[in-house]
Chains A and B, each alone.
Chain A
């Protein structure tokens, strides 16, 4: 007799045969290799926790991948914490610092360009960045004075800092910009040229009005001490700083309209979401409505979050957004949005209908179920296997103590494992985290920066973990497939923001966003890599791409060979019809 399925399931459950697996069987091949130790990237984050459960100690910190010395490879910048709390000293730290004598951010030089090896040396000493000693949260990268060198904006739980590059791995702290030393608790920041004047402006996401001096003892639902959440403190207003030329900034928060909304901002990504040619700003807020600032083209912005369908989840509730990224996930020629959320919620994918109106397609595309048990922070839309479809990486770590880790007596019981969702084409994503063995290791992950560290045409990953060593994962899959890369040089800047690159091949159009913003408190490789595996191209293929620069000008570049990076300089391509 064949028993009906419900009956069999009931029977199975009664016998205790419950299956809790969420992940698909893995291909035996690993897609990423942990090369942290081999590369010499020796950085351990210090969160300054002393048992008081200060809110800020579990929120940091991020990292950046950028070419600090102009030698053609990506260097790594890691943001450091500090001791927290009035009167607290290092002796009070529950997790003592790795190097108590050097509690500042770190710059690691990549030796790939000169040695062909993915190896790093700590070049912080003498760089000036020993002075980056705030309680660090995040880092944004952009060339604020158009000198061709990447500058750094550091966000802190306290006054932020702007560091100007001299181009030879040394930096000086900008003293001429007191405006940008925002004293609020800032998290992510993004450079963008919102007024198209050729100078990079700056958007800074601020979180809540919390400092250890206004700490309050929060409780979990049973009355035990627990970290506070964002609702325990008033939200802050984000800041928009306009670059008036040569890296001098003025605060235009109020005049631009940005000051009209307060929010608990954690993630920022910029892009032209409504297709009008002007760069817009999307801000992920923690347990408050997200903001979609649509650029009006006259120096002002209007929040279209609710109307666009990106302010709240599919059922109309505000969610706890942490990290955000924008990219064309369905290859239909516009920018979609992905964001990570608190456990109990799903991560959310909003698909753009092409006109700045979005719909939540998280469940339909298979991204809901696997993400619900985890609290996501850093994220990236990354074509990890170069098949031409953007995949999603989400790095996780809880914000409330996990019972099993608390029972085990862990000091920071927030560890969760990270996830890779592979885009199978137009229909669905699948959780293929097992393809990255390092993701099985649970950490309190926060930052994620993607970049091609060995210039082999695929994207490697730099992860940061709260109170733990940073982690470097080398991509071992993408370079085996056809690819083409672009180093976009807009005007004088080598770090362009807000550019869009399109490759059309037959009926397929691949759109990629150039720039360093997205994820959580982190900055990624500004270059664009296009995976071409799904295009079925001959080895000798010569490609044509169209670039829309941040000022709206469009140009095409022709006869481009696959398998290498191409520097594309604004003004050297063929202009496309009337510029917008």
Chain B
């Protein structure tokens, strides 16, 4: 192994030294349309890279880091082709650094370039033989190619190195199920549940394993613990510091939107409000984000603030039906029946077939005879359909 590694490094260094400076990387074609904080990230990373690339004194390792930094930004935002080019350049400049090979492999994998991914993953193991995420990724590739025994072997090695990884155990269980060995799957999954009892995926796999064993009761019991949506689910644990670093680069409205969505799913409305406000700060041009914020504020009982948000949005797009429906509902909750009727009529003109408009009509018909303009709402408002959808 030592001889192989030495030779690899030597050849790698030779290649790195012999190569001319790598080609410049293209910036995103739609740079101008990106949110300001994201645009700045791209610009700064590319500027630094170009400065170093044009300086003949720059050491290959330093230049490799700059290429990889650009690659990480592109990978963070799913610009895979440029990320691949950047990581390949970094590998060529500094072949002794396993991170560049790993990130290159991951990018190739994302692009569906399995052979290239496998080659890079193997290079990682030559440099860092105990890297668990690489074993898991290679196992995933083998599994996709229908090479179950090879995948099992790789996952077995990962398990030796990280016995507490629920992801590794779940992958082993999945292979066992595919190989019609439900009892083996159960043993892996019971062990994984000790480490991560709330993981939906483990319960699903257990349900399938017990089903394979003919134990309908236990299967049903575990199915009942499977959470319905991805935002409610807990990801399986696999420590991967290099990819975590890539993800940490993500900034901008969408990051806040996703956090708000998770907060909403968990019923944490205050957190959702905070994240939605951050999203609007990151990108004030996203007028439709005011709708999501209005929905959250309404659910928090802050109807006046919700009305302000809707006002902002309807100034931009007076035909936005969901906003008109939500406006009417808030007005109704505030006892402003005439205003609610007017909002309904505006919605009805724009979206006569809209089920939400039709539901609003029914609500108005129910309430019209019960409330006057000055009566406050007797009960806290209910969220309208879609108000929690960002």
Contact = CB atoms under 8 A, between A and B. Distances in A.
A556 interface: no
Interface string A307-324: 101001011111000000
A366 B8 contact: no
B337 to A, nearest CB: 24
Interface string B218-241: 011001001011100100000000
A224 B389 contact: no
B208 A209 contact: no
Given A86-B319, A209-B355, A317-B230, A364 B33 contact: no
A365 to B, nearest CB: 7
A223 B254 contact: yes
Given A213-B350, A363-B143, A11 B253 contact: no
A13 B120 contact: yes
A245 to B, nearest CB: 28
Interface stretch (B64-72, B111-119, B157-165, B362-370): B111-119
A314 to B, nearest CB: 5
A369 interface: yes
Contacts of A316: 200-205, 226
Contacts of B204: 306, 312, 316
A364 B288 CA distance: 45
Interface in B139-162: 143-146, 148
Contacts of A368: 143-146
A373 interface: yes
Q: How large is the interface on A (under 10, 10 to 19, 20 to 34, 35 or more residues)?
A: 35 or more
B351 interface: yes
Contacts of A312: 204
Interface stretch (B50-58, B74-82, B268-276, B298-306): B74-82
A221 B77 contact: yes
A184 B38 CA distance: 37
B322 A214 contact: yes
B178 A361 contact: yes
A297 to B, nearest CB: 20
A159 interface: yes
A363 B177 CA distance: 12
A15 interface: yes
A539 interface: no
A225 B205 contact: no
Contact of B178 (A221, A223, A359): A359
B385 A214 contact: no
Contacts of A344: 110
A217 interface: yes
B253 A221 contact: no
B291 interface: yes
A404 interface: yes
A505 interface: no
Interface in B38-94: 38, 42, 76-82, 88, 91-92
Contacts of B177: 314, 359
A364 B350 CA distance: 51
Interface in A3-25: 3-4, 6-7, 9-16, 18-22
Contacts of B78: 220-222
B252 interface: yes
A289 B200 CA distance: 13
Contacts of B233: 317
A357 interface: yes
Interface in A191-233: 209, 211, 213-217, 219-225, 231-233
Given A14-B91, A223-B35, A368-B145, A318 B230 contact: yes
B276 to A, nearest CB: 13
B146 A225 contact: no
A176 B387 CA distance: 36
Interface in A431-486: none
A319 B169 CA distance: 21
Contacts of B88: 16
Nearest to B78: A221
A307 B320 CA distance: 41
A538 interface: no
Interface residues of B, number: 94
A382 B160 CA distance: 45
Contact of A222 (B79, B125, B146, B223): B79
A468 to B, nearest CB: 23
A183 interface: yes
Contacts of A365: 146
Contacts of A359: 177-178, 208
Contacts of B286: 217, 219
A407 B29 contact: yes
Nearest to A237: B355
A100 interface: no
A10 B178 contact: no
Given A315-B205, A359-B178, A233 B389 contact: yes
A158 interface: yes
B12 interface: yes
Contact of B126 (A6, A219, A287, A403): A6
Contacts of A309: 208, 211
A172 interface: no
A84 to B, nearest CB: 14
A234 interface: yes
B309 interface: no
A224 B113 contact: no
A9 B108 CA distance: 15
Contacts of A184: 355
A7 B254 contact: no
B34 interface: yes
B252 A222 contact: yes
B123 A223 contact: no
A428 interface: yes
A222 B253 CA distance: 9
A214 B116 contact: no
A372 interface: yes
A330 interface: no
A7 B33 contact: no
Given A183-B355, A315-B205, A318-B230, A222 B219 contact: no
A223 B34 contact: yes
Contacts of B115: 18-21
A332 to B, nearest CB: 14
Interface string A18-52: 11111000000000000000000000000000000
A418 interface: no
B28 interface: yes
A364 B119 CA distance: 22
Contacts of B355: 183-184, 209
A21 B119 CA distance: 14
A385 interface: no
A360 interface: yes
Contact of A373 (B112, B201, B229): B112
A219 B254 contact: yes
A214 B146 CA distance: 44
B201 A315 contact: yes
Interface in B331-386: 350-351, 353-356, 385-386
B336 to A, nearest CB: 23
Contact of A20 (B116, B144, B288, B350): B116
Contacts of B134: none
A346 interface: yes
Of B108, B170, B319, most buried by chain A (CB within 10 Å of CB) is B319
Top 9 closest A-B pairs, CB basis?
Answer: A373-B112, A223-B35, A316-B204, A216-B288, A316-B201, A222-B77, A183-B353, A368-B144, A18-B116
25 contacts: A6-B125, A7-B7, A7-B8, A7-B126, A10-B119, A10-B126, A11-B11, A16-B88, A21-B115, A86-B350, A213-B351, A217-B286, A217-B288, A219-B252, A219-B253, A220-B77, A307-B220, A309-B211, A315-B174, A316-B201, A316-B226, A364-B146, A364-B148, A403-B80, A406-B30
Given A234-B386, A369-B144, A372-B144, 11 more contacts: A6-B123, A13-B91, A22-B112, A22-B114, A86-B350, A158-B353, A214-B321, A224-B33, A231-B261, A363-B144, A369-B145
